[in-house]
Amino acid sequence: MRIYSTVLAALLSIPAIAFAADDADLRALRDEVAQLRAAYEKRISDLENRLVQAEAKATSAESAATKAEMAASTPAATPTGANAFNPDISLILSGQYSNLSQNPKDYHITGFHLPGSVIDDIKPQRGFSLTESELGVSANIDHLFYGAMNFSIHPDNTVSTEEAFVQTISLPHGLTLKAGRYFSGIGYLNEQHSHTWDFVDPPLAYKAFLGGQFNNDGVQLRWLAPTDTFLEFGAELGRGASYPGTDRDKNGSGASALFAHVGGDLGVSNSWRAGLSLLATSPHDRQWDDSDAASVAVSNSFSGSSKLWIADGVWKWAPNGNATNTYVKLQGEYLRRIESGDLTYDPNGASLGPSAGRYASTQSGWYVQTVYQFAPTWRVGLRGERLDVGSVDYGINNAALLRPNYAPSSYAVMLDYNPSEFSRIRLQFAQDKSIQGMTDNQIFLQYQMSLGAHGAHKF
Amino acid sequence: MVNKPIKPLLALAFATFALPALAALNVLACEPEWGALAEALGGDKVSVYSATNAFQDPHHVQAKPSLLAKARSADLVVCTGSQLEIGWLPILQQQAGNSKIQVGQPGCFEAAKLVHLLEVPSSVDRSLGDVHPGGNPHIQTDPRNIALVADALAKRLAEIDPANGTYYQDNYKAFAERWKAAIANWERQAAPLRGMNIVVHHKAFVYLENWLGLQEVATLEPKPGVEPTSAHLSEVLAQLQRQPARAVIRSTYNDSRGSEWLSERAKIPAVLLPATVGGSDRAKDLFGFFDDTIQRLLAVLK
């Protein structure tokens, strides 16, 4: 603008030079030009000032508008319409490749009497297979209840209902009541879905005493004490259809459970929880296949009472409690089962016929495992476990039935890669000595991914 | 709360377990900034426990036993919302047996509902990383957001505890006045930061950037919530050749390796900012948090 005004002034002064008459005229002319120039320059600088002011005004108007927008903005629009109430849906996709050095056809745990259907559930598979892939649906039902359902799709193309329960969210005094089918609150791992476990398979003791994992149809009442230290008590009554119980057609309860948990923090970096649980079931005609002292294939049946005690503990450490980059988790459980009742020893068509007698056993097992996240996406884990065949008394059938003196054990090491919170790829090596005289060297490569609703960060 | 006959029994059984404060309003803050704010507004009428500290990524916390115990006795939970605590707050609500803190109850306070959320995705897909459908939840880095939340929180405290309503309102007035003056002061101090290009570890500073006029040119995380990879860090380094930045910024809970790697190669300072109150020696309260944040950023220009 300034250049323009100078040029303008210069142009105006040209005619003045051309028509120069005398000094007075010239001076008058020059004065006139100077006046003109001053006038123009003033007007231009006025214009410039006005422009600067306008710009400033525009900026302040803009920021005022932004402020107004920020102030006026209400929370992000909530969805409307019927689907706004759609429940949370989550899908767990899981599959694996297994390479086993032993044929799983003969899978059993020496000295532990597992029904055939349980063995089918827990025995490993060779080659490629789906592992438990899960569909979960959950939501608050109303101001009083929450509900959830989990279907599990098994490798053999069957679907089972892992959980389907309703639960209160508004009872007073720290009480929570749950009804339906749910994973029992006993132990530490039992209540967690298998895709959150740190190893491909459940511990041996869970296989031997719970058939992998125990779910129950029934009711559960939990009470959380109003203390600064976490203290929780729970009681369950249920059908007890799954191992170690059996299905029954009777009024009343076939399985009851009691559990207590205590936990807290030690400083900012450590958290822990310990628990003690009791699961009491009354199996009726629980059958399993075995071979007797004469190596004859037999079928046995047990009716009576089964009590399983579980002591569990878990301790987690993360620097400043920030588990994003690194953490250590140490957990262990000890399970002890006491059974007593009647055992029918049936040598399947042999001339002797069935023989009924008393049965009493006390058996136990434990595992200890640790997981170390050494980099934000990488974890290693180590698990050691052992079962104690304990004392088994077949009463009058003691001579006919085998009581092997063998302690099944297993070691596993795993490495997993977690590119995000929603995906995991795991490699696991295990040396499984469940069967006397046989060592199964196992290699598993597994994926576990979740999509849909954000997973829960359970302790 | 407890029947008379079992009271002595309880006292005996739980002799070692301290009972939470009964007189004051029990506030469970999901993050320290809301704990500090609740303390500023509630004074001695509230007993505040913060579920996380400034060194913990509030997204990756577990519903650990200590938090369940605190949730059980809470009269009010004060959380960010916008799915920041989605992994653990719903479990606390489901398992604590406390009707007061359920969604929709006065005892469940979500700060993100009160502020204008940035980076609200138009579509959500997990291939984009751990995106928050409601918008970026790291709202505490803009003091103007704190001011909006303070107003609502004071009202909420009064709603839950009407007997002390005027106390909360008086505290709010005093706080708001100090806060307004502090904001003006911070804005004056931070004026030289306007237009400064920065690289961030996680998209945790959008509100700070929006407030102070910082320009975020790259993130170390390839996708939100996905830890930096060496391939992505190399890309960021190459990008900085074309589009230089003055600093690489991370929160107290971020792994330092990514920003140190970049700092060394791009020859720009790696700046550690307190994620929230308690994240540094100076960030003792909300005022100190912003004082320190701005001083640490200004140090880049020296």
Got the DSSP string for A312-331? EEEEEE-GGG-TTT-EEEEE
Which pLDDT band, with edges at 50, 70 and 90, does A345 fall under?
Answer: confident
Residues of A in contact with B57 (CB under 8 A): 322, 324
Judge if B32 and B113 occupy the same domain. yes
Residues B205 and B64 in one domain: no
8-state DSSP, A147:
E
> Using a CB-CB distance cutoff of 8 angstroms, which residues of chain B are in contact with residue A271?
62, 64-66
In this complex, which of A76, A228, A262 lies closest to B117 when CB atoms are compared?
A: A76
Pairwise CB contact (< 8 Å): A264 & B66: yes
What is the pLDDT confidence band of residue B259, given thresholds at 50, 70 and 90? Answer: very high
Across the range A320-327, mean pLDDT stands at: 91
Answer whether A92's CB lies under 8 Å from A133's CB.
yes
Torsion, CA A125, CA A128, CA A129, CA A135, rounded to 10: 140
* Chain A residues touching B3 at Cβ < 8 A: none
Domain co-membership, B199 together with B227: yes
What is residue B25's three-state secondary structure? strand
Identify the CA nearest to A300 among candidates A260, A258, A359, A248. A359
- Please, what is the Cα angle at B60 between A83 and A169, to 5 degrees? 50
Comparing CA positions, the residue from B75, B72, B73, B77 lying closest to residue B52 is B77
From A458's Cα to the closest Cα of chain B, the distance in A is: 5
Of the listed ranges A26-40, A57-71, A325-339, B119-133, the one predicted with least confidence: A57-71
Is pLDDT above 90 for A149?
Answer: yes
Q: Examine residue B15 and state whether it is found in any structural domain, yes or no.
A: no
Cross-chain Cβ contact B227/A377 below 8 Å? yes
Q: What is the 3 state secondary structure string of B40-75?
A: HHHHHHEEEEECCCCCCCHHHCCECHHHHHHHHHCC
Final residue before a domain boundary, out of B156, B185, B214: B185
Go through A235-258 and write b for each residue having 16 or more CB atoms within 10 A of its CB, e for each that does not: ebbbbbbbbbbbebeeeebbbbbe
| Structural domain for B208, as ranges | 191-301
Residue pair A245/A283 in contact (Cβ under 8 Å)? The answer is yes
Nearest CA in chain B to A419: B226
**Segment among A11-20, A144-153, A166-175, B289-298 with least mean pLDDT:** A11-20
Contacts of A419 (CB under 8 A, 6+ apart): A377, B226
Residues B146 and B92 in one domain: yes
- Eight-state DSSP code of residue A63: H
Q: Give me the helix-helix angle, B286-301 and B143-160, nearest 10°.
A: 170
Q: Between β-strands B270-273 and A327-346, what pairing exists: parallel, antiparallel or unpaired?
A: unpaired
Of A76, A316, A456, the CB nearest to B91: A456
Where are the extended beta strands (E) located within A141-183? Answer: 145-153, 159-168, 175-183
Question: Is there a domain that residue B66 lies in?
Answer: yes
Which 8-state DSSP code applies to residue B113? G
Assign A52 a pLDDT band (cuts: 50, 70, 90): low
Q: Are residues B259 and B249 in contact, defined by beta-carbon separation less than 8 angstroms?
A: yes
Cis omega (within 30 of 0) on the bond before A244? yes
Strand-strand pairing, B197-200 and B247-251:
parallel
**Does residue A298 carry a pLDDT above 60?**
yes
Is the predicted pLDDT of residue A297 greater than 90, yes or no?
no
Give me A413's structure tokens. Answer: 């090491």
| Contact between residue A239 and residue A252 where contact means Cβ atoms under 8 Å apart | no
A229 contact residues in B (CB cutoff 8 A): 16-18, 66, 69
The Cα A76–Cα A70 span in angstroms is 12
| Residue A118 scores a pLDDT above 50 | yes
Q: Say how far residue A211 (Cα) sits from the centre of its chain.
A: 20
The yes-or-no verdict on residue A60 having pLDDT over 70 is no
Residue B203 has pLDDT above 70, yes or no: yes
Distance from CA of A253 to the nearest CA of B (A): 25
Alpha carbons A98 and B139: distance in angstroms, whole number: 47
CB A346 within 8 A of CB A301: yes
Percentage above 90 pLDDT, chain A? 65
Percentage of chain B beyond pLDDT 90 is 84
Cα–Cα distance, A6 to A10 (Å, whole number): 6
pLDDT of residue A454: 87
Looking at the fold, whether B149 and B133 belong to one and the same domain comes out as yes
pLDDT at B141 over 60: yes
Read off the tokens for B164. 């002390």
* B281 in the same domain as B142: no
- Whether A7 shows a pLDDT value over 60: the answer reads no
Integer distance in angstroms from the first to the last C-alpha of chain A? 71
Are the beta carbons of B179 and B145 closer than 8 angstroms? no
For residue A227, the 8-state DSSP code is: S
pLDDT score at A287: 92
Per-residue pLDDT of A237-284, as tens digits, reads 999 999 999 988 888 899 999 999 999 999 999 999 999 999 999 999
Q: How far apart are CA B119 and CA B131, in angstroms?
A: 9
pLDDT at A10: 47
The answer to whether position B233 is within a domain reads yes
B13, pLDDT greater than 70: no
Residue at which a domain ends, from B132, B161, B185: B185
Q: Which residues contact A152 (CB under 8 A, 6 or more apart)?
A: A132, A133, A134, A159, A160, A161, A162
Choice among A36-50, A311-325, A390-404, B28-42 with the minimum mean pLDDT = A36-50
Residues of chain A with C-beta less than 8 angstroms from the C-beta of B88? 456-457
Interface A-B, measured as beta-carbon pairs within 8 A, has a size of 162
Over residues B245-258, the mean pLDDT reads 94
- Are B62 and B105 within one domain? yes
B1 domain residue, yes or no: no
Mean pLDDT of chain A: 87
Q: How far apart are CA B287 and CA B272, in angstroms?
A: 18
Q: Residue A427 is inside which H or E element, if any?
A: strand A423-433
Nearest residue of A to residue B147 by CA position?
Answer: A71
Which residue in the set A76, A172, A230 is minimally distant from B65, CB to CB? A230
Residue written as tokens 């506030």?
Answer: B27
Q: What is the mean pLDDT of residues B127-133?
A: 83
Domain for residue B234, yes or no? yes
SS3 A45: helix
Q: Which residue has the tokens 């006065």?
A: B106
Picking from B185, B201, B230, the residue at the C-terminal end of a domain is B185
SS3 call for A50: helix
CB nearest A456 (choices: B2, B90, B113): B90
**The total number of structural domains that make up chain B:** 2
From CA B235, how far away is CA B121, in angstroms rounded? 24
CA-based Rg of chain A, rounded to a whole angstrom?
39
> Same domain for B171 and B217?
no
Q: What is the distance in angstroms between the CA of the first residue and the CA of the last residue of chain B?
A: 60
Distances (CA, A) of A399 to A148, A298, A349, A391, B291: 50, 14, 19, 15, 83
Shared domain check, B204 and B121: no
- CA nearest neighbour of A431 among A389, A373, A382: A382
Cβ–Cβ below 8 Å for A324 and B113: no
The confidence band for A71, taking pLDDT boundaries of 50, 70 and 90, is: very low
Answer yes or no: is pLDDT of A79 > 60: no
* Residue at B5 is within a domain: no
Q: C-alpha angle A53/A54/A59, rounded to 5°?
A: 100
Looking at beta carbons, which pairs linking A145-150 to residues 24 or more positions away fall under 8 Å?
A145/A169, A146/B94, A150/A193
Determine the angle formed by the axes of helices A23-72 and A2-18, rounding to 10 degrees. 160
Measured on CA atoms in the order B58, B59, B64, B69, is the torsion positive or negative?
positive
Among A451, A391, A442, A430, which residue's Cα sits nearest to residue A104?
A442
From the number of C-beta atoms within 10 Å of its C-beta (0-12, 13-18, 19+), residue A2 rates as: exposed
pLDDT of residue A15: 44
Q: B207 and B99, same structural domain? A: no
- The answer to whether residue B4 sits within a structural domain is no
CATH number at residue B29: 3.40.50.1980
Q: Shortest Cα distance from B66 to chain A (angstroms)?
A: 5
Up-side HSE of residue A239: CA atoms within 13 Å toward CB?
A: 17
B135 and B245 housed in the same domain: no
Alpha helices in B79-164 (DSSP H): 89-95, 143-160
- Structure token pair of residue A141: 């039902």
* A356/A301 Cα distance (integer angstroms): 9
Cβ atoms B146, B33 nearer than 8 A: yes
Residue contact B87–A454, C-beta within 8 A? yes
Distance CA B268, CA A323 (A): 28
- Using the beta-carbon criterion (under 8 Å), do B97 and A420 form an inter-chain contact? no
Judgement on whether residues B267 and B290 belong to the same structural domain of the protein:
yes
Q: Which of B193, B211, B81, B214 is nearest to B138 (CA)?
A: B81
Q: Decide if pLDDT at A352 tops 60.
A: yes
Q: Residue A5 pLDDT more than 70?
A: no
Choose from A69, A224, A329 for mutation: most chain B CBs within 10 A: A224
Please check whether residue B155 lies inside any domain of the structure: yes
